[in-house]
Structure 1
Amino acid sequence: MILIADSGSSKTDWRAIGKGGEITQFRTVGFNPYYQNPDAMLRDLQTESILSLRGEIQEVYFYGAGCTGEKNKKTVSHLIRTVLGDVQVYVDHDLTAAAKATCGHKAGIACILGTGSNSGDYDGESIIANRPSPGYLLGDEGGGSYIGRRFLQDFIYDDMPTEIREMLLEETPLTNLEIQENVYQKPFPNRYMAGFCKFIHEHKKHPYCYQLFYNGFHDFFKRHVMRYTDFQHKPVNFVGSIAFHNGEILRKVGTDLGIHIDVILEAPIAGLTLYHQNKI
């Protein structure tokens, strides 16, 4: 039996595939070795769903945000073995998961727009070029934390339309102090900021909310996709909740910039399952 995991900063999708092709799936919190210490990750890995597979799994394919350098890959691999025992573990970046899920063995540009953002030029087998992805403080253009941060800035500076502010305050008694405490003092400020995208999405017919998404996606294309060689002639594929639930805005920005958007998936786990089934 093999176990596949696609982990972003907010959630992780897991699928266990048996030799007969039977599939078990479940979801846990997200993992990111850049933002979490090993003890916290180990605690979050010890869920009933994962522990129940101990002794059943022979190989684990873990694709995760922050799994780029060898140090982070070794940390994640060690933690998985701690929970599941002596299994073979392959750790790679979540961008590789996006490429395998959307492109398969064909060339294209693979992108992630979830809590954070990332992109890579894929030749059908591996990522051959990758733009910097410095995280929610310095990057994540187009991702939930980026758009949510702009939204919260407008709230703090009283730069959002009055009707949007009033509707927001009807849903939650938000204050400037509360925002600053969540961003500067509590864990996972990226998840906190991205959480406001639900409200922005629900009101995206309002020009202000629509423009927040449009501008975020425009920044993403400019900083990422349009920096790749011959990007105009390559299919551009996306995974992630922000891309999926706002696909019509994303495609509009792509059209305005002369970029061909092909596949948009909410999560890559189904595509990854197909990719790895031949390993059973």
Structure 2
Amino acid sequence: MILIADSGSTKTDWRLLLPDGEIAQATTVGFNPNYQSAENIRTELQESLLPQLGNNQPTQIYFYGAGCSTEAKCSLVADAILNVFPGSHVQVMSDVVAAARGTCGHQAGIACILGTGSNSCLYNGEIITAQMPCLGFTLGNEGSGSYLGKKLLHLYLNHELPADLQEAFGKQYPATQAEILHRIYNEPFPNRYVASFALFLQGRQRHPFVAELLHQNFLDFFRLTVCKYPDYQMLPTHFVGSIAFYFADILRKTAKSQHIQVGRILQSPIAGLALYH
């Protein structure tokens, strides 16, 4: 049995490929070795994933995750998984590999992640051949939910949102400035917390201020990533992640302004990964 995981910083989608051809599904919180220890990941797997798998024990596990960009981080996650599934074959790869395999399959293209965080790569149909730096929550993540959340919070706390949005934001998120800053600077997973504010924009895309904010968000991402890949205008550019999925109309318009050919826009690459494996 093959178990596949697509893990972002907020949520992990799991697919278990059974011998009879059936596919079982499971969902857990997201895992990111930049913020979690092997012990923390192991505990979460035991408490949340195992009950959903029942008596099914995978022999091969392919884990694609946010933060799994170095050998050390991949080993941390692999050790946690092997502790829960001893004897299984475990391979840990970055979430950008998942995006490439899940959207491009075996065709060349550019694969992008726009979820809680952001990332991208140039893919030749078999391997990643180029990748722009991924600077994470503090220094990068253009195009992502956390990038949008930071901008929204900055505008709201400085009273720079239009009056109607300022009022609506305060009603939807009644936390004080002190409470917001405490969550960001003193509690775990500030990226998840900040990204959660991007939900405020859903259903408000037609507001001129929101439309421009989203346009600039995607424009920042394109200029710093996609537009730097050679021959980017000649290849399809695919997207996975909640931000790309829920704001697809503005994403497409912004991409068109940069002469970028938009391919697939998926909330998650997990279905494509199941086909790939």
Q: Is 1:12 aligned to residue 18 of structure 2?
A: no
Counterpart in the other structure of 1:148: 149
CA distance in 1, matches of 2:85, 2:214: 40
For 1:27, give the aligned amino acid: T
CA distance in 2, matches of 1:222, 1:175: 35
After superposition, what is the alpha-carbon deviation per residue over 1:127-165, rounded to whole angstroms, capped at 9, x for unaligned? Answer: 110000010100000000001100000011111111101
Matched pairs, number: 276
Counterpart in the other structure of 1:258: 259
Counterpart in the other structure of 2:68: 67
Which structure 2 residues correspond to residues 61-140 of structure 1 after superposition, within 5 A? 61-140=62-141
How far is the alpha carbon of 1:50 from its aligned partner? 2.4
How far is the alpha carbon of 1:14 from its aligned partner? 0.2
CA distance in 2, matches of 1:84, 1:265: 30
Counterpart in the other structure of 1:238: 239
For 1:238, give the aligned amino acid: F
Q: Percent identity?
A: 46
For 2:232, give the aligned amino acid: F
CA distance in 2, matches of 1:60, 1:172: 39
CA distance in 1, matches of 2:207, 2:69: 38
Counterpart in the other structure of 2:50: 50
Q: Is 1:38 aligned to residue 38 of structure 2?
A: yes
Counterpart in the other structure of 2:216: 215
After superposition, what is the alpha-carbon deviation per residue over 1:18-71, rounded to whole angstroms, capped at 9, x for unaligned? Answer: 111111101000001012122222221113532545762110000001112111
Is the CA contact 1:3–1:59 (under 8 Å) kept in the aligned structure 2? yes
Is the CA contact 1:144–1:242 (under 8 Å) kept in the aligned structure 2? yes
Q: Say what the alpha-carbon RMSD is for the aligned residues.
A: 1.2
What secondary structure is seen at the aligned counterpart in 1 of 2:139?
coil
Counterpart in the other structure of 2:171: 170
Is the CA contact 2:237–2:260 (under 8 Å) kept in the aligned structure 1? yes
CA distance in 2, matches of 1:107, 1:199: 35
After superposition, what is the alpha-carbon deviation per residue over 1:183-229, rounded to whole angstroms, capped at 9, x for unaligned? Answer: 10111111111101111122222111112211110000000000000
CA distance in 1, matches of 2:177, 2:203: 22
Is the CA contact 1:54–1:84 (under 8 Å) kept in the aligned structure 2? no
After superposition, what is the alpha-carbon deviation per residue over 1:75-94, rounded to whole angstroms, capped at 9, x for unaligned? Answer: 11111010112100011111
Greater mean deviation of Cα atoms: 170-179 or 223-232: 170-179
Greater mean deviation of Cα atoms: 170-179 or 267-276: 170-179
Which structure 2 residues correspond to residues 194-213 of structure 1 after superposition, within 5 A? 194-213=195-214
Q: Cα gap change, 1:138/1:153 in structure 2, threshold over 3 Å: closer, same or farther?
A: same
How far is the alpha carbon of 1:179 from its aligned partner? 1.4
TM-score by length of 2: 0.97
CA distance in 1, matches of 2:160, 2:219: 21
Counterpart in the other structure of 2:275: 274
How far is the alpha carbon of 1:171 from its aligned partner? 2.1
Is the CA contact 1:201–1:209 (under 8 Å) kept in the aligned structure 2? no
CA distance in 2, matches of 1:193, 1:141: 13
Q: Is 1:23 aligned to residue 23 of structure 2?
A: yes
After superposition, what is the alpha-carbon deviation per residue over 1:101-131, rounded to whole angstroms, capped at 9, x for unaligned? Answer: 1100000000000000000000000111000
- Structure 1's consecutive aligned runs of 4 or more residues displaced over 6 angstroms after TM superposition are none
Structure 2 unaligned regions, length at least 5? none
Q: Cα gap change, 1:10/1:246 in structure 2, threshold over 3 Å: closer, same or farther?
A: same
How far is the alpha carbon of 1:172 from its aligned partner? 2.8
Structure 1 unaligned regions, length at least 5? none
Counterpart in the other structure of 2:158: 157
